C-alpha cells in the first residue's frame, strides 16, 4: 500500500504572530517556518505503518512556492520515500488544495491519505474532509489512534464528547490529532541520505485545477487585547474580589 501524506510548511508555532500595520497580512519575512505540527504527526504515522509492513511507500506532498524544496527535504530526511512538490506562488485555500490532492490521488492510487486535522496558519480544518468528499471515500478526522487490518482502518477520534471509534474501508482519508503519536527527530545521516531521494515537481497550472472560487480576503487585524489585570495578595482577597463581582 502507498500512503500520501500532506506536508505543509507554516509559520512555526512558537513565533509571535504580528499583523502588518497596513492590514494586508501577517509578517512572514525573516520568521521561522516549520512543518505544520499535525503534518509531522501524519508523516510519523505513515512511517510507522511502513515499519510495521502495512505500507510499502510513503509520499510527502507539499503545495507551495519554489523554495519549498528544503522543507520537503526535511520530510524525506524524516523517512518519506519520495516527495511531490506542486509548485504555485499563490496561497491555495482548502477546496483548491483538496482538488490538487484529488489529482494526485488519481495518479498515485494510494490506499491511505493522511493529512493534518488543521494547518496552524489558516486554522481552516477542511482539506481532509473536502478531499474525502471529492474522492467519495471515507473520512476519519481528529485521529488519536489508527489500526489497519483486513482492508479497513479502525480509528479512534477525539470528539467533544470523548473518544469515538469508527471503521472505514480503504482507501480512506485520515486527519491527525496531536495525541496520535510523537514525531521522531531527524538525524544527521538521514539528512545526507535525503539528498538523493526524488522530489517530483508538478506545476499547479498543469493539473487543470479550478481555483477561481476561493474566498476573497479583505483585510487582517490584530485581535482585541485583554488588558493586564490586578494581582491579589492571598486567597482571602481573591475570594473577596470574586464575591464583589458576583462571581462566587
Ligand X SMILES: Cc1cc2nc3c(=O)[nH]c(=O)nc-3n(C[C@H](O)[C@H](O)[C@H](O)COP(=O)(O)OP(=O)(O)OC[C@H]3O[C@@H](n4cnc5c(N)ncnc54)[C@H](O)[C@@H]3O)c2cc1C
Q: Is 12 in the site for ligand AMP (CB under 6 A)?
A: no
Q: Are 81 and 200 in contact (CB under 8 A)?
A: no
Dist. CA 155–CA 35, nearest whole Å: 24
Residues 68-97 close enough to bind ligand AMP by CB under 6 A: 92, 94, 97
Q: Is 205 in the site for other proteins (CB under 8 A)?
A: no
Q: Are 5 and 61 in contact (CB under 8 A)?
A: yes
Q: Is 121 in the site for other proteins (CB under 8 A)?
A: yes
CB-wise, 149 or 235, nearer to ligand X? 235
Backbone region of residue 59 per phi and psi (left: phi > 0; alpha: psi in -120 to 50; beta: other values): beta
Among 3, 4, 11, 61, binds other proteins (CB under 8 A): 11
On the 0-12 / 13-18 / 19+ scale of CB atoms within 10 A, 186 is middle
On the 0-12 / 13-18 / 19+ scale of CB atoms within 10 A, 207 is middle
Which residues make up the interface to ligand X (CB under 6 A)?
13, 37, 120, 178
Residue 218 near which of ligand AMP, ligand X, other proteins, none (CB within 5-8 Å, type-dependent):
other proteins
Residue 229 near which of ligand X, ligand AMP, other proteins, none (CB within 5-8 Å, type-dependent):
other proteins
Minimum CB separation from ligand AMP for residue 226, in Å?
26
Amino acid at each position: 500500500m502507498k500512503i500520501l501524506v500532506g506536508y505543509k510548511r507554516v509559520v512555526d508555532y512558537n513565533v509571535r504572530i504580528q499583523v502588518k500595520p497596513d492590514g494586508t497580512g501577517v509578517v512572514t519575512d525573516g520568521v521561522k517556518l516549520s512543518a505544520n505540527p499535525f503534518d509531522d504527526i501524519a508523516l510519523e504515522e505513515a512511517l510507522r505503518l511502513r515499519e510495521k509492513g502495512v505500507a510499502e511507500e510513503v509520499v510527502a506532498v507539499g503545495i507551495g512556492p519554489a523554495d519549498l524544496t528544503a522543507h520537503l527535504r526535511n520530510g524525506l530526511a524524516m523517512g518519506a520515500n519520495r516527495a511531490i512538490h506542486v509548485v504555485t506562488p499563490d496561497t491555495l485555500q482548502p477546496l483548491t488544495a483538496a482538488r490538487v490532492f484529488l489529482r494526485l490521488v488519481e495518479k498515485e492510487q494510494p490506499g491511505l491519505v493522511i493529512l493534518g486535522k488543521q494547518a496552524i496558519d489558516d486554522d481552516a480544518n477542511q482539506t481532509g474532509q473536502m478531499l474525502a468528499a471529492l474522492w467519495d471515500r471515507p473520512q476519519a478526522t481528529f485521529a488519536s489512534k489508527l489500526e489497519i487490518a483486513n482492508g479497513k482502518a479502525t480509528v479512534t477520534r477525539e470528539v467533544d464528547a470523548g473518544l469515538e471509534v469508527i471503521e472505514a474501508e480503504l482507501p480512506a482519508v485520515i486527519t491527525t490529532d496531536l495525541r496520535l503519536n510523537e514525531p521522531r527527530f531527524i538525524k544527521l545521516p538521514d539528512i545526507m541520505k535525503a539528498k538523493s531521494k526524488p522530489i517530483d515537481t508538478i506545476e499547479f497550472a498543469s493539473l487543470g485545477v479550478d481555483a477561481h472560487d476561493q474566498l476573497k480576503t479583505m483585510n487582517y487585524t490584530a485581535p482585541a487585547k485583554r488588558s493586564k489585570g490586578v494581582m491579589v495578595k492571598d486567597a482571602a482577597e481573591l475570594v473577596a474580589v470574586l464575591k464583589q463581582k458576583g462571581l462566587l
